[in-house]
Amino acid sequence: MAFNKLKRVKRRLFNLLNRQGAVRTAGSAEIRFTGDYASWDDARRECCGYDAVHIADRVLQTTLGVLEGRFAWERDSVGFANPEYNWPLLSCLLHIAASNGGRLRVVDFGGALGSTFLQHRVFFKGLTAVDWQVVEQDSFVARGRSVVAGHPDMAGLSFYGSVDDALQAGEPDVLLLGSVLQYLENPLVELQRLLSSNFRFVLLDRTAILRGDARCLLTVQHVPATIYEARYPAWFLGCDLLMQVFSKEYMCMVEWCCSDSYDATRGRAAFIGCCFRRIAEGAL
């Protein structure tokens, strides 16, 4: 009887949270998305606690924990004890390398301190060459260059403050956008600008989309203190609008669903990954 009562209480609490916004149903930390804001400024007024320098310091400490063997991998400043791999993303990266004589040249836009590179580096060791260029905020670039890039396990990793700077360092094969578009003020406009650089491939991963509604949804993301306590604007991009940006110059080779799972205040929220190939490249 007590157990059934507890289940009913938990169900009521979960339903209440759902009515107030979106609730994470995967993972150990509860991340919530609330609201349906008319503008970025409206959403930003509800936000606080985001300190890029503080977050960069936390990510650095966890990254050092990975390099020292205390964690297997890192994401969003959280360290994980057991190895996990993003198999769809990794398959696409290795496919691109295979089409290029074993060379993999990546611009990782919003790549923190090389989280994706570090998580999958064991699979890159057999490649002919790896050039992984992270484009990030100044606080990450400074820590990446001074502490991370010189580590023996991070050979091939470099840090830049803009995509233009990264492109001047060498022509990449692929643009990686992992959990980044939804945190930009004008994500579809920025995406169009990025695509104008004519990357051979573009990889999306953990990108927040909305199905069943033609519009985008602007929310406030609530990050718990177990990660780093903060609130900041976050989009769920209208899926059709997102795909239209790619449609003229790129074709989607494959799409996959990510483990992140949320409910949205309208439409159906999902987190997806995609591999796009520039049409001019021909079939691969």
Question: Average per-residue pLDDT in the chain?
Answer: 87
Write out pLDDT tens, residues 16-51. Answer: 333 333 433 334 358 889 999 999 999 999 998 766
Beta pairing class for 78-80 and 157-160 = unpaired
State the average pLDDT over residues 242-263.
92
Write out pLDDT tens, residues 173-207. Answer: 999 999 999 999 999 999 999 999 999 999 999 99
Banded model confidence at residue 7, pLDDT cuts 50, 70, 90: very low
pLDDT of residue 282: 62
Quick check: 151 pLDDT over 60? yes
Domain residue ranges in the chain: 27-281
CA separation for the pair 42, 1 (Å, rounded): 46
Instruction: Assess contact for 169 and 134: CB atoms under 8 A.
Output: no
Beta pairing class for 250-257 and 73-75 = unpaired
Write out pLDDT tens, residues 87-116. Answer: 999 999 999 999 999 999 999 999 999 999
pLDDT of residue 265: 82
Amino acid (one-letter) located at 215: R
pLDDT of residue 254: 97
**Strand ranges, E, within the chain:** 21-23, 32-34, 73-75, 78-80, 103-109, 129-135, 157-160, 174-178, 201-211, 217-223, 230-238, 250-257, 268-278
Write out pLDDT tens, residues 128-145. Answer: 999 999 999 999 999 999
CATH topology of domain 27-281: Rossmann fold (3.40.50)
